[in-house]
Amino acid sequence: MGNEAKSKSSLPVPGGCVSWWQQTTRSFPYLSHNENETVPKSSKYVVIGSGIAGGLTTFQLIENGVPAEDIVILEARDAASGASSRNAGHVRPDAFRGFQVYEKVHGRDQALKIIANERLVFEKVDEFVKKHGVPCDFNPATTFDVCMTKEFADFNARSLKLYADAGGDISHVKFYEGEDAKKRTGVRQAVTAYEWPAGSSHPAKLAQWLLTQSIEKGTGFFTHCPATSVVKSASSTADKTLWDVVTPRGTVTAATVVHCTNAFAPHLLPQLSSFVTPNRAQAHAIIPPPSLSGTKIMPSTMSLRHELRHFYSVAQRKADGIIILGAPIASPNVSEAAYEARFTSDDSTFNEEIQKDAWGNFQACFPDLREEKLRHGEGLQGTWTGIVAMTPDSVPFVGPVDGLPGQWICAGFNGHGMARIFTCAPGVAKLILGGAWEDTGLPECFEMTSERLVKLERGTVGSVFEPPQLKP
Ligand SMILES: Cc1cc2nc3c(=O)[nH]c(=O)nc-3n(C[C@H](O)[C@H](O)[C@H](O)COP(=O)(O)OP(=O)(O)OC[C@H]3O[C@@H](n4cnc5c(N)ncnc54)[C@H](O)[C@@H]3O)c2cc1C
């Protein structure tokens, strides 16, 4: 099935399931902020979407001089109730693996920039959290790519070589094989392993902190208030285009509209219908047994990789020892039907086959988690889903929306936003305030140019990513 056929342009469904991140932040005071209020008739800026992209774009606009009260944020459901409060918690830059695929799609120069940008994001998150004292359990550590098969070990070795030969910096990547790989990772099936700096965080706490800063400075925040359309306002003049952002609780007219709607972007921007595909991803929370508790918690996060699309992400939280397990995009152990069930924007439920596969694989890697060894209260605690936004060329859409002056986008994070938003959102804020693309420091291939859309339309890119890959 092609991306076009899979794409379902919709609003977030009401009644999404409650992730572990959401379960542990129920007292957030702005969770349902202004849920019954009508929206103001006008605002200079309207940001649509209150995930990390919307929250950080707003934060950056204010940091750069925009009065907080000139901004309104609209959110279709609870505060930050999209992927930002449903992910696997990894802030895990791709150190080299994706290079060979990015090079085929975007060329060597852009591929090098994409990988370098991910490393920069990790540094930016670290810097931001420390500078502002953000209480989001951010844990800068290292991560392992654990190659579980000879085939994947060969793939990763090739990726590393290609990246290094192209001039990519691998000085921060450590390599282990055989017994050393098993010992370092604690995974007895490990063939080889690579280790580099990465971190994990409580993504809902991060998103909520960002929103709080803006709300408490005066930004208007309206939850349960979906933008249902954005149309040219009758109050536009020859010199200035204004936009009517229509919601069930009134219409707010703005000169600047920022789409931070990720997988739901095509609902308001139908020109993206073929290029932003909602894809349901699943994650699990696990209560560890004593052998993975106390001083024995895993110091590094990891990705247990069997094939390019068959992998499981693992992050044990330093704050409380809870293990967050991300499910694979595709596993030979799940049926075609379970795989196809991913192509939805409905996050109200999860898939039991995918749960069984992810949990079973994890138990095989860490035998102390086998059912017969667990006490009541240990083991699988919860399962949830969220919707990620896949693009055919595996990079986000950032910048001005062509042909719609005053509309901007920061979306399409390919299941990898925690490793991208912290450069993309500041980038889009700079552009909105008059900066040039060069000022953003972002890879040029992230820009939402009409040339890029034409290329995607012609299908000249994207086949290597069919179906698109999700990276932890
Ligand atoms: C199970 C899972 C595991 C993941 N694991 C990782 C990981 O470990 N590392 C990583 O880097 N990334 C991961 N991701 C991806 C990451 O969560 C996303 O890339 C990131 O959160 C995107 O942030 P965002 O703000 O762009 O989108 P979102 O957080 O989805 O925010 C978009 C918001 O817009 C709102 N919205 C949409 N349309 C409208 C509208 N018309 N009107 C009003 N509001 C609207 C939505 O309700 C939503 O709150 C994972 C995602 C999932 C689901």
The count of structural domains within the chain is 2
Same domain, 237 and 312: no
For position 376, which CATH number holds? 3.30.9.10
Share of the chain above pLDDT 90, in %: 91
Residue 117 lies in a domain: no
pLDDT tier for residue 319 given thresholds of 50, 70 and 90: very high
Distance (angstroms) between ligand 1 centre and the Cα of 122 equals 18
The preferred substitution site among 21, 90, 223, 261 for testing ligand 1, maximizing ligand atoms within 8 Å of CB, is: 261
> DSSP secondary-structure letter at 328?
P
Average pLDDT over residues 150-154: 96
pLDDT (tens digit, 9 = 90+) per residue, 180-206?
999 999 999 999 999 999 999 999 999
Residue 102 lies in a domain: no
Expressed as residue numbers, the domain containing 319 is 140-198+277-390
Same domain, 146 and 226: no
Q: Of ligand 1's atoms, which has the minimum distance to the CA of residue 419?
A: 11
Same domain, 314 and 408: no
Cβ of 135: how many Cβ atoms within 10 Å? Answer: 13
Same domain, 240 and 325: no
Q: List Cβ neighbours of 207 (8 Å cut-off, separation of 6 or more).
A: 50, 51, 52, 55, 79, 80, 84, 85
Quote the tokens at residue 204.
């809902």
Same domain, 271 and 303: no
pLDDT (tens digit, 9 = 90+) per residue, 239-264?
999 999 999 999 999 999 999 999 99
Same domain, 252 and 339: no
Q: Of ligand 1's atoms, which has the minimum distance to the CA of residue 283?
A: 1
Q: CA–CA separation, 182 vs 359, rounded Å?
A: 20
SS3 338: helix
∠ CA 158-163-164, rounded to 5°: 100
264 lines ligand 1 (CB under 6 A): yes
User: Is it the case that residue 292 has pLDDT exceeding 80?
Assistant: yes
User: Is it the case that residue 2 has pLDDT exceeding 60?
Assistant: no
Distances (CA, A) of 246 to 39, 254, 316: 10, 11, 42
Distance (angstroms) between ligand 1 centre and the Cα of 61 equals 20
User: Cα 27 from chain centroid?
Assistant: 24
Q: CA–CA separation, 303 vs 288, rounded Å?
A: 18
328 lines ligand 1 (CB under 6 A): no
